[in-house]
Amino acid sequence: MNRAETLERLRSQRFDLLVVGAGIIGSRIAYEAAREGAQVALVDAGDFGAATSSASSKLIHGGLRYLEMGDLKLVREAHLERRALLDRVAPHLVRPLPFVVPVYRGGPHRASAIAAGLFLYSALSGFRRSRGRLIAADRAPDWVPPVRTSGMRWAGFYMDAQTHDSRLVLATVTGAARAGAAVLNHSPVVALEALDGRLAAAEVAAPEGAISVRADHFINAAGPWVDAVRRLEDPAAAPIARLSKGVHLTLEPLGPPWAAALTVMLSGGRVSFAVPWEGMLLLGTTDTDYEGDPGAVSVTEADVAEVLDEASIGLPPEVIARDRIRYRFAGLRALPLTGGASSAAPREEVMRVGPLGMVSVAGGKLTTHRRIATKVLWRLDRFRSVRFGDEPLPGGGPPPARPASIEPDVWEHLVHLYGSEAPDVVARDGLERVHPGGPDVWAQAAHAVASEWALTVDDVVRRRTTLEIRGLATPEVRREIARRCNLAPP
Ligand SMILES: Cc1cc2nc3c(=O)[nH]c(=O)nc-3n(C[C@H](O)[C@H](O)[C@H](O)COP(=O)(O)OP(=O)(O)OC[C@H]3O[C@@H](n4cnc5c(N)ncnc54)[C@H](O)[C@@H]3O)c2cc1C
C-alpha cells in the first residue's frame, strides 16, 4: 500500500487499535496486534525508529551490568530473548559477538568478582558452548588486537549479540504492514479526542494535511515523549518517566579486525563499550540526566570527551583519536521516576493506563521488546490472548546464494541488512557502490523509497543504509540520492 492509499485508509476506516510511536516497542505492538487479526494503525512523528531505537548501543544482551544491580529476572528474560532473536526471529540482523572485559590493577572490580559474575551470567544464558570465563591478559589481544595490556591482570570473556537497531525496527514495521497494519511515518499525533469517557480519535498532522484517525483502543509508545503524549489525554498527568542521555561515536577502525568487543568496567556500575559494528568502531555510552525537549537532544563536545576518555582506559590514543570520528549520535533512555543517579535507575519499562483508557509505555530494552509489547497488549481486554511467537521477521528466512555479479563484501552486507529478501534489492537498478569506502549500493536507496517508506534523504542515509554511520553521507552523496530518488534536496 502506498502512502496516498495509507492516508485514505487512515481517514476512512475505524481501527481496533492506534499505536502512537513506531520505535521498536510501538512497531512490535502493531505487529503482534495485526497478526491477531486486529485492524491496526501505527503512526510516528518522525521516521520509523529515528529516536531511541536507532541510538542504542546495538547490543542484544543479557545485560552484564544488571547482574550488579541484582536484577536477575531482567537478565534471564533478556538472555531468552537474545536466543530467540538470534536463532529464529531475525538471524540476519542479530549476530553473536564475543566480549572481552579487562581487569586492570586498581580497577573497580577484582578478577574473582568478574569470574563469579561471568559464571552466573553464563548460567542464566543459553550459550552453553562458550561459558563466560577468565582468560590470561596476554590472550586478550587475540580478540581485541589494540587492547591496553599494561596493568591488566586478567580478562573476562563472555558471549552476547549485536544488531542493526534501526533495520530491526524497519523489519518489524514491514512485518506489521504485511500483517495488515496501516503504517505512516513523519506524521505526529497532535491531539486526542474522547467520546463518552473513552478516547475515540487522534488528530494526525501529516504533511499532506491533518487527518482524524478513529480507533477503539490507543497505545502510547512514544518513548522519551511518553509524558507529552499522556498530556494529550490528560493535561494534568504527572510524569511517569525521567530521561537520561546516552552518546555514541563511530570511528574509522585502525589495524587488524577485532574478533570481539571490549567492555570496560567503570566505577558506579557503569560500563563503556568499544564494539566492532558495520565495519566501524562504535564507542559509548554516557548516562546523564536530561530535561527539556527530547527532539532537541544533541551531542556536546563534553560528551565526546567523556566517551573518548572512558574508552582510553582500555584502548591506546591512536585507535580513538578524534580525527577518526565519523559520526556521533545521542539517544534518550526513558527510566522509571526514581531518585539518585540515572545510571542506578532500574532498566525495566514503565507502563500506565490513563483516565480515558490509553495504555502508555516507555523504556525497557531493545533486547526485550517482544516481551514488553506483549505485556502492553495484555492491558487491553481485546488482546488478552496475544502470545508472541518466534516466527521470523521479513528477511529472517534462509540466506540466499550470492549472484556471481555481486562482490562478496557487498553481498555479505546486503544479506545482513535484508536477509532472505536481499534478492529484491539487487533486482533494482544500481548495483554500483554509492561510495568506494563502503558496501552500500544505489539500489538500496531506490528500495528504501519504493518499499521501505523513506521520505527524506536522512531516512535513506541514516536508517536504511549504513552511509551516515560510516561517514560516507557526503553532500554529493546526499544530493545524488535526492536526484535519483526524487526526494527533496538536502
Ligand atoms: C544510549 C542508549 C543505549 C542503549 N543501548 C541498548 C542496547 O545496547 N541494548 C538494548 O537492548 N537496549 C538499549 N537501549 C534501550 C533501547 O534503545 C530502548 O529501550 C528502545 O529503543 C526504546 O524504544 P521505544 O520504541 O520505546 O522508543 P523510541 O525508539 O524512542 O520510539 C518512540 C517513537 O515515538 C514517536 N513519537 C513521539 N511522539 C509522537 C507523537 N506525538 N506522535 C507520533 N509519534 C510520536 C517518536 O518519533 C519515536 O519514533 C539503549 C538506550 C539508549 C538511550
Encode pLDDT of 300-345 as tens digits.
Answer: 999 999 999 999 999 999 999 999 999 999 999 999 997 777 777 7
From the CB of 46, is ligand 1 less than 6 Å away?
A: yes
**Rounded Cα distance, 54 and 362, in Å:** 15
Specify the ligand 1 atom closest to the Cα of 188: 42
Q: Which of 299, 317, 336 is the last residue in one of the domains?
A: 336
Residues 270 and 303 in one domain: yes
Whether residues 107 and 206 fall in one domain: no
Return the sign of the alpha-carbon dihedral for residues 292, 296, 297, 300. negative
Query: C-alpha grid cell for residue 58?
Result: 546495538
Q: Does residue 9 sit within a domain?
A: yes
**Is 401 a member of any domain?**
no
The answer to whether residue 71 is domain-embedded is: no
**What ligand 1 atom has the least distance to the C-alpha of 285?**
1
Distance separating alpha carbons of residues 162 and 453, to the nearest angstrom = 25
Query: Contact, 64 vs 78, CB < 8 A?
Result: no
- pLDDT in the model for residue 369: 97
Collapsing DSSP to helix, strand or coil, 301 comes out as helix
Q: Take residue 227 and report the three cell numbers written for it.
A: 509524558
Would the pLDDT of 126 be above 80? no
Res. 164: pLDDT tops 70: yes
Q: Residue 388: inside a domain, yes or no?
A: no
User: Among the atoms of ligand 1, which is closest to the Cα of residue 286?
Assistant: 1
For residue 50, give the ligand 1 atom closest to its CA: 49
User: Is 63 close to ligand 1, i.e. is its CB under 6 Å away?
Assistant: no
- Using CA atoms, how far residue 53 sits from 23, 24, 56, 191, 223, in Å, is 6, 6, 6, 24, 9
Query: Which residues make beta-bridge pairs with 289?
Result: 244
Instruction: Indicate if ligand 1 lies below 6 Å from the C-beta of 246.
Output: yes
Residue of 10, 19, 32, 52 to mutate, ligand 1, most atoms within 8 A of C-beta? 52
257 and 156 in a common domain: yes
Q: How far apart are CA 147 and CA 484, in angstroms?
A: 43
Q: What is the pLDDT of residues 269-302, one digit of tens each?
A: 789 999 999 999 999 999 999 999 999 999 999 9
Spatial separation of the C-alpha atoms in residues 208 and 123, rounded to whole Å: 53
Residues 6+ apart with CB under 8 A from 272: 263, 264, 266, 283, 284, 285, 307, 310, 311, 313, 314
- Please say which residue of 305, 336, 367 terminates a domain: 336
Alpha carbon distance 67, 51 (integer Å): 27
Rounded Cα distance between 24 and 68, Å, is 26
**Cα dihedral sign, 332-338-343-347:** negative
Per-residue pLDDT, 129: 60
Give the integer Cα–Cα distance in Å for 166 and 346. 24
Which one, of 30, 2, 374, 28, lies nearest residue 215 by Cα?
Answer: 30
Q: Whose CA is nearest to atom 15 of ligand 1?
A: 365
Domain harbouring 296, CATH code: 3.30.9.10
Q: Return the residue matching grid coordinates 578478577.
A: 111
Alpha-carbon span 7 to 177, nearest angstrom: 14
Q: What is the DSSP letter of 433?
A: B
The answer on 476 and 366 residing in a single domain is no
Which cell goes with 301? Answer: 563536545
Same domain, yes or no, for 147 and 122?
yes
Nearest Cα residue to atom 26 of ligand 1: 223
Q: Where does a domain end: 336, 368, 399?
A: 336
Spell 298-335 as b/e; 16+ CB within 10 A means b: ebeeebbebbbebbebbbeeebbeeebbbbbbbbbbbb
Do the domain assignments include residue 269? Answer: yes
Q: How far is CA 40 from CA 6, 133, 357, 372, in A?
A: 12, 46, 17, 18
Residues 171 and 157 in one domain: no
Nearest CA to ligand 1 atom 1: 246
Residue 348 Cα to ligand 1 midpoint, Å, equals 13
Q: Which atom of ligand 1 is nearest to the CA of 330?
A: 1
| Dist. CA 332 → ligand 1 center (Å) | 7
Nearest protein CA to atom 35 of ligand 1, as residue: 21
* 3-state secondary structure labels for all residues of 182-194: EEECCCCEEEEEE
438 and 292 in one domain?
no
For residues 210-226, give the mean pLDDT. 98
State if pTM tops 0.85. Answer: yes
* Residues 182 and 132 placed together within one structural domain of the fold: no
Tell me, yes or no, whether 296 and 441 share the same domain: no
Ligand 1 pocket: which of 93, 366, 368 to mutate (most atoms within 8 A of CB): 366
- Indicate if the pLDDT at residue 389 is higher than 90: no
For ligand 1, the distance from its centroid to the CA atom of residue 52, given in whole angstroms, is 3
Kindly tell me if the per-residue pLDDT of 142 is higher than 80: yes
User: What is the count of structural domains for the chain?
Assistant: 3
C-alpha cell at 346: 532500574
CA–centroid distance, 305 to ligand 1, in Å, is: 24
- For range 243-257, the mean pLDDT: 97
216 and 171 fall within a common domain: yes
In this model, does residue 407 exceed pLDDT 90?
A: yes
Q: What is the pLDDT of residue 72?
A: 86
Element (H, E) at 289: strand 288-290
Q: Tens digit of pLDDT for each residue in 457-472?
A: 999 999 999 999 999 9
Q: Answer whether residue 59 is part of any domain.
A: no
Ligand 1 within 6 A of 372 CB?
Answer: no
> Quick one: pLDDT band at residue 267, thresholds 50, 70, 90?
confident
* Percent of the chain with pLDDT strictly greater than 70: 99
Q: Which of 66, 162, 225, 285 to mutate to test the pocket of ligand 1 (most atoms within 8 A of CB)?
A: 225
Whether 73 is covered by a domain: the verdict is: no
Higher pLDDT, 218 or 108: 218
Residue 65 has pLDDT above 80, yes or no: no
Pocket test of ligand 1: the residue of 31, 47, 57, 358 to mutate, having most ligand atoms within 8 Å of its CB, is 57
Of 365, 367, 370, 375, best ligand 1 pocket probe by most atoms within 8 Å of the beta carbon: 365
Per-residue model confidence (pLDDT) at position 340: 76
| Structural domain containing residue 204 | 3-52+166-239+346-383
* In a shared domain, residues 246 and 328: yes
Domain presence at residue 176: yes
**What residues contact residue 82 under an 8 Å CB cut-off, 6+ apart?**
60, 61, 62, 94, 125, 126, 160, 161, 367
Atom 25 of ligand 1, nearest CA residue: 23
467 shares a domain with 416: yes
